[in-house]
């Protein structure tokens, strides 16, 4: 019986399934155990937002797999894991529907000033608030999708329902890869200049850090909406704050730069005032839904079972590792 460590809450069904076959330790709840308390025993780790550092990996001599409960892997020290022949896996596509739906929750909140309107009603306003709450219509507008993987493609599907035009940037695609007649593959500057809504769906890497900086923001149309449900470091939050304060842009963020300092408590490290009018912020919940938590959990557990039985797990991101 293997020993599995879970860093963050997962769907109860997934937890029960794991516990039926393995000894499970968890970092939360009444029986919480710290990583270093049980590290010498851990064969597998199921990780959501916790940062898995080199020291943590080195403290776990039996560890064979770090299974990410999600798509990103910037919170895992890949180099140390690879040096130890420890698989690192993700669950691409399992939460794509949830994230894409959340993108439009943020778009609509920003475009139709939902939060501001709700607060006005709570404050006792009704008719007097209407003149300042003029919303923006999505029908007939253009959405720019940066990163056209499974989530980006689902965003496109929803956007079609709103009657939006589609432009896409993805360095891994050429025009012949786009099978839909209504999707235009372009370059970043053109996307920024031609889009009314821009949404980010790329991983955080040294190359994508602050890809949306002050220069990029200046290329956006007046009144454009910027949405980020990927990773906070993709946008220069301080530069974005300047644009929102000037009332030239609005934004919907599910991630902020402060998460790079402390994933679980990023607000003290934030470079943007989350109370800005014209900004809607949610606490990194785009991938969370009743169904996605089950789908992502099942995908992560499948990777764990493959690694524990000596097979190469599906969706490994450090392909040079070899546990065979």
Q: What is the 3-state secondary structure (H, E, C) of 245-276?
A: HCCCCEEEECCCHHHHCCCCCCHHHCCCCCCC
89 with 104, same domain: the answer is no
Number of domains into which the chain is organized: 2
**d(Cα 230, Cα 71) in Å, to the nearest integer?**
9
**d(Cα 259, Cα 264) in Å, to the nearest integer?**
7
DSSP string, 166-212: EEEE-TT--GGG---TTEEE--HHHHHHH-SEEEE-----TTTTTSB
115 with 79, same domain: the answer is no
85 with 217, same domain: the answer is no
Residue 318's pLDDT is 86
The Cα-based distances of 141 to 136, 233, 307, 309 in angstroms read: 10, 27, 46, 51
Whether the predicted model's global pTM rises above the 0.85 cut: yes
Is 320 part of any domain? no
pLDDT tier for residue 319 given thresholds of 50, 70 and 90? low
276 with 301, same domain: the answer is no
pLDDT tier for residue 130 given thresholds of 50, 70 and 90? very high
Q: Which domain holds residue 25?
A: 3-94+290-308
160 with 20, same domain: the answer is no
112 with 242, same domain: the answer is yes
Summary mean pLDDT of the chain: 95
CATH of the domain at 135: 3.40.50.720
43-100 tens-digit pLDDT? 999 999 889 999 999 999 999 999 999 888 888 999 999 999 999 999 999 999 999 9
Tokens, residue 18: 């794991």
Query: In the predicted model, is pLDDT for residue 1 greater than 90?
Result: no
pLDDT tier for residue 241 given thresholds of 50, 70 and 90? very high
Residue 74's pLDDT is 85
Decide which of 281, 299, 317 is a domain's last residue.
281
Is 207 part of any domain? yes
81 with 219, same domain: the answer is no
DSSP string, 31-61: T---HHHHGGG-SEEEESS--B-HHHHHT-T
3-state secondary structure 77-102: CHHHHHHCCCEEECCCCCCHHHHHHH
Is 105 part of any domain? yes
234 with 271, same domain: the answer is yes
- What single DSSP character describes residue 286? T
Residue 134's pLDDT is 94
Is 159 part of any domain? yes
Query: In the predicted model, is pLDDT for residue 139 greater than 70?
Result: yes
242 with 188, same domain: the answer is yes
pLDDT tier for residue 200 given thresholds of 50, 70 and 90? very high
**d(Cα 129, Cα 151) in Å, to the nearest integer?**
36
85 with 131, same domain: the answer is no
pLDDT tier for residue 320 given thresholds of 50, 70 and 90? low
**Catalytic residue annotation:** 231, 259, 284
Is 209 part of any domain? yes
């Amino acid at each position: 019986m293997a020993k599995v460590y879970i860093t963050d809450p997962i769907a109860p069904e997934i937890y029960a399934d794991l516990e039926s076959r393995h000894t499970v330790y968890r970092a939360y709840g009444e029986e919480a155990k710290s990583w270093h308390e049980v590290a010498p025993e851990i064969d597998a780790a199921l990780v959501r937002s916790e940062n898995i550092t080199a020291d943590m990996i080195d403290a776990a001599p039996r560890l064979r797999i770090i299974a990410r409960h999600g798509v990103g892997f910037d919170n895992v020290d890949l180099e140390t894991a690879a040096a130890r022949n420890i698989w690192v896996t993700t669950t691409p596509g399992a939460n794509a529907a949830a994230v894409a739906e959340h993108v439009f929750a943020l778009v609509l909140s920003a475009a139709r000033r939902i939060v501001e309107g709700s607060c006005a009603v709570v404050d006792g306003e009704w008719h007097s608030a209407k003149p300042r709450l003029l919303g923006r219509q999505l029908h007939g507008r253009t959405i720019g999708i940066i990163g056209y993987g499974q989530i980006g493609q689902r965003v496109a599907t929803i956007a079609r329902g709103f009657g939006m035009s589609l432009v896409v940037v993805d360095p891994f695609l050429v025009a012949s890869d786009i099978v839909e007649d209504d999707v235009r593959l372009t370059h970043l500057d053109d996307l920024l200049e031609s889009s009314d809504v821009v949404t980010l769906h790329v991983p955080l890497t040294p190359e994508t850090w602050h890809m949306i900086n002050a220069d990029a923001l200046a290329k956006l149309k007046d009144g454009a909406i910027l949405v980020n449900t990927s990773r906070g470091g993709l946008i220069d939050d301080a530069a974005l704050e300047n644009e929102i304060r000037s009332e030239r842009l609005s934004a919907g963020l599910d991630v902020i730069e402060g998460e790079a300092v402390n994933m679980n408590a990023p607000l003290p490290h934030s470079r943007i005032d989350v109370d800005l009018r014209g900004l809607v912020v949610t606490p990194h919940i785009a991938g969370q839904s009743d169904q996605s938590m089950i789908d992502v959990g099942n995908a992560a557990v499948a990777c764990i079972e493959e690694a524990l039985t000596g097979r190469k797990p599906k969706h490994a991101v450090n392909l040079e590792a070899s546990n065979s």
